[in-house]
Amino acid sequence: MSVLVATAAAVQELDADQRGALDACVVAALALSSSEGEATARARLLMECHGRYVRSFGVSDPAPQYPVFVKRLLGGRVADLLPRRPKESALGELQLLDENGVPSSALNRIAVEASEHGHQAPGIGADIRHLHSLLRAVGMLPESAGLTRICGETVQHAVFRALHAAGFEAYTRGREAMVCTPVLSRREVSRNVALTELGAYTAISPTRQFGGLWAACPLCRWTMRATYRLNGTVDLECEDERHSTLGARYRAEPGTDGWTLIPRGELRAVPELRPVEGHVALPYALWLWVTLPGLLEVELRDRLVAMEAEVRLWPFGDAYDLHVTLPGRSRKWRIDVKTWADPYGLAQQLRENPDELGDLCFVVPEHLRTYLPVLRRGVQGTAARVLTETDLLAEVRKG
């Protein structure tokens, strides 16, 4: 069972000091695991992080000294790094770095979702700064706003509203491109006016390229993360924990004719290596909150249509994702797909649009089933429901 999907919920359960300490640990872990920029700047950032970390402990509960702090970041569990060690938290099993300093898939995710200082970090920092400027450009992030928390709902709302302003056709086309083609050539993106104006695509992150090349995950088509190994090979892996488990994992080996990709998982098909030059990609947060749920939205549409349901995908701007009816029946489903477990985000979304969203069905992937109780807390007292994809398909089949 993945512990990663519940991070947003688990982080919200922390107190302010614990969250401050987590933020310092996340940025420090990013600085430790990156080779970007100057070594002295990274060392300075690490010391700053330790300073913030110590302050979050207060006087009665002394924080670990700098060498211990760094040692614990390597292979230590997140919960063990925080003041008053939170018990029974989903963070308990989570690591930021492994013992060799290789980032876990949790690290970038927490940096985006829960870090006030993530934009300073090497690697994902550039993605976060891009996201902030995009949100600011569409009026979703006031100049002076604290950057504590960017939730999936906020980002989706901002992006879809901005696309919608360009008209329904441009909206559908832009949203479809962000789902089906999270990496585009610069020429392709320039042909899509709405996407160009939104500035959704940006240069491929240094953390997801090697030797001027990148490779797409066969499952989501986004750039896989590239980690250099000491022996000169490069590990490529989709940032999505599930895609990686399903086999989106390769090793790139250098040779006289360039790089060769070798599968490390069940997927035997080897993706093509493409040049970084001339390509642009969605930043991490847009891939996480637009591409990944979009893949499930499109899949649900196809499966519902195969059951003879009538389905409209992305029917009314950003209100919800699928409108489903059955021929000759009065029952309808208004579905909003969520691929992350964030009860607070659901609650916020319901608060912002109480009228539109009355009997909305939030649908989560089957692997989030164990989070149904916590997600249902987010919609308590409303007419909205939370179902897994399997539950929804069974319900529609019954009619």
Residues of this chain that bind Zn ion (CB under 5 A)? 217, 219-220, 238, 240, 243
Q: How many CA atoms lie within 13 A of 330 on its CB side?
A: 0
Give least dist CB 220 to Zn ion, A: 3
- What DSSP string describes 80-136? HHSTT--TT-GGGG-BSB-TTSPBPHHHHHHHHHH-SSGGGSTTHHHHHHHHHHHHH
- What DSSP string describes 245-314? HHT-EEEEEEETTEEEEEE-SS--PPPPEEESTTEEE--HHHIIIIIHHHHHHHHHHHHHHHTT-EEEES
Residue closer to Zn ion, measured from CB, 33 or 105: 105
**Could you say which DSSP state residue 39 is in?**
H
Residue closer to Zn ion, measured from CB, 23 or 241: 241
Residue closer to Zn ion, measured from CB, 243 or 249: 243
Residue closer to Zn ion, measured from CB, 240 or 389: 240
Residue closer to Zn ion, measured from CB, 241 or 321: 241
Nearest to 98 by CA among 117, 78, 124: 78
Residue closer to Zn ion, measured from CB, 42 or 242: 242
* Residue in the block written with tokens 């989903």: 90
Q: Are the C-beta atoms of residues 354 and 347 closer than 8 Å to each other?
A: no
Q: Are the C-beta atoms of residues 345 and 311 closer than 8 Å to each other?
A: no
- Other C-beta atoms lying within 10 Å of the C-beta of residue 256: 4
* Residue in the block written with tokens 């709405």: 194
Give least dist CB 216 to Zn ion, A: 8
Give least dist CB 192 to Zn ion, A: 22
Tell me the torsion sign for CA atoms 64, 66, 70, 73: positive
Give least dist CB 389 to Zn ion, A: 18
Q: Which two tokens stand for residue 221?
A: 């088509």
Please give the residue whose beta carbon sits closest to Zn ion in the complex: 217
- Other C-beta atoms lying within 10 Å of the C-beta of residue 214: 23
- Other C-beta atoms lying within 10 Å of the C-beta of residue 159: 26
Give least dist CB 223 to Zn ion, A: 9
Give least dist CB 222 to Zn ion, A: 6
Give least dist CB 119 to Zn ion, A: 24
Residue closer to Zn ion, measured from CB, 164 or 243: 243
Give least dist CB 284 to Zn ion, A: 12
Question: Helix (H, G, I), strand (E, B), or coil: what is residue 386?
Answer: strand
Give least dist CB 273 to Zn ion, A: 16
Give least dist CB 238 to Zn ion, A: 3
| CA–CA dist 84, 67 (Å, integer) | 20
Residue closer to Zn ion, measured from CB, 238 or 309: 238
Residue closer to Zn ion, measured from CB, 73 or 286: 286
Residue closer to Zn ion, measured from CB, 69 or 222: 222
**Residue length of the chain:** 399
* Residue in the block written with tokens 């207060």: 58
